[in-house]
A and B are shown apart, each in its own frame.
Chain A
Amino acid sequence: MNIAVRDLLDSDKRQRSSHPVMSRRTDRLSDEQLMTNLGGVEVEAALSELYDRYSRTIFGVGLNILGDRSLAEELVQEVYLKVWRSSHTFDRSRGSFSTWLYRVTRSVALDLYRKRAHRVRPVSDGDSHIAIIRDSSAEPQEVVDESWLSWRVSRALEMLDAPHREVIDLAYFGGLTQREISERTGVPLGTVKTRTASAYKRLRKELSVQDTSRAAIR
């Protein structure tokens, strides 16, 4: 995968930065508690925290589905507005917030996919690695359904802390060897190997824990 290692490192820093609106208290609330807060006076803090937790996943999955940054941005906006407007329809007894949010995302993405222009838009060289041009013969529903795995993997990656996420980004997406990662980050080789093994173990666990049944997303 042709991704600049510098971009990966920068991306990780961006990912870990949080918004000043977010309070420490909000940081500790569960997704479900934040959804409850969307109906109260702390709506902005709650929405901002949910943005921190899920916007990268929504944007990334949106790029995979729509192949267009501006549409993926529109997707993120519309999804969060819908989350706010429809927070009362979320029923935690019917599944996790993540699964519910995926359904919201899929619904909005499907609308945007159908509206998308048929022709392929030119993208700058810098964006070419993320502008995935979909086969125009694919049915919208089929394309969007493929995104469930993408969503689950993204969520699993988001569960990793920064050091473990870094080794996965550099090893898998950056294509660096363990020694190269050690040299680039200044982390001892043994630690890099331990983190890689630990990250894979965590990913395996997260991917198996998440509800993989298709019924969950219907």
Chain B
Amino acid sequence: MKCAEVYPNLSAFALGGLEPAETAEVRHHLASCSSCRKELRELEEVNHALEAAPSPSADPPVYLRDEILARVRAEQLSPSKKEESEESSSLEEHSRSSRTSRFNRFKGLRTILPSVAAAALVAIIALGVFFGFLREEAPVATIQLVPTPQEAGGLKGYWGVAEIRPQHSGNQQVELKLNNFEEPKPNSYYELWFVSGDRRISAGSFTSVGKGETRVLLNVPPEASNYHTLLITEKHIDKDPAASNEEVALEGEMP
């Protein structure tokens, strides 16, 4: 067998994708051809590199592009966000700036929230436009989440906001930004609920990093627009997921 006949099969050989008879022929040729052995080594380096490749079936979800574009639109409507980011001159600086600006937003809230939390224990501030108006365009509803009475007994200094963004799919994206929200107990997790009377819809479960800011992206179906109370509960993974087995950590309400 000549090199010209072996060459088209070398990649398949490196992949182990030839039939047994073809494999034997290539092996026989390689035993006496240093040029093809060198070529094979280079092809095997490609094989080695492919081991580092992300899974070919790992596609981002189809809604993600729309969510990104919606957030860009929303930020364009409130350009201060972008201006804050543009102050930084490098990427790393930008990253720090972005985090700092978010922190400052919470820091500003910190000056007013403790008194509200201590007195009423549930503070509700809604900004933007409520769900029903959030169809295609991007006014954002922001719901303040504060400790429930039992949790606030110790005034742990944590709170959060839930930002609602409409999606083209009709779903509502909920971005939680939680400040100093402690990690759940061992084998427990948090879950966000939209509640109306004794009915409720889960927006999904998550965990928290404790000190600093935790950001979580969740989604709820359009029906959640009729559920005006937001609760973040903590549950143990081994217990029945019934409401009786959970502790409410944060609560917020839309007008």
**A interface, CB within 8 angstroms of B:** 3-4, 7-8, 10-12, 14-15, 19, 21, 43-44, 47-48, 51, 55-61, 63-64, 70, 72-74, 76-77, 80-82, 84-86, 88-89, 100, 103-104, 107-108, 111, 115, 117, 119, 129-130, 146, 149-150, 152-154, 156-157, 168-169, 171-173, 176-179, 181, 193-194, 196-197, 199-201, 203-204, 207
Contact = CB atoms under 8 A, between A and B. Distances in A.
7 contacts: A4-B57, A8-B56, A77-B71, A84-B82, A115-B209, A119-B207, A154-B54
Given A179-B19, A204-B46, A207-B49, A11 B59 contact: yes
A108 B10 CA distance: 40
B85 A172 contact: no
Contact of A77 (B45, B86, B89, B217): B217
Interface residues of B, number: 59
Contacts of B85: 85-86
A70 B219 CA distance: 11
B58 interface: yes
**Residue among B54, B75, B82 with most chain A CB within 10 A:** B54
B59 A89 contact: no
B72 A77 contact: no
Interface of B: 7-12, 14-19, 42-43, 45-47, 49-50, 52-62, 64-65, 67-69, 71-73, 75-76, 81-82, 85-86, 88-92, 94-95, 98-99, 183, 207, 209, 214-215, 217
* Interface SS of A by simple majority: helix
B72 A47 contact: yes
Given A115-B214, A177-B17, 7 more contacts: A51-B68, A60-B55, A72-B58, A104-B91, A115-B215, A178-B12, A197-B7
Nearest to B18: A178
B209 A63 contact: no
Contacts of B207: 117, 119
B226 to A, nearest CB: 26
B69 A44 contact: yes
B11 A196 contact: yes
Given A8-B57, A171-B15, A207-B49, A84 B92 contact: no
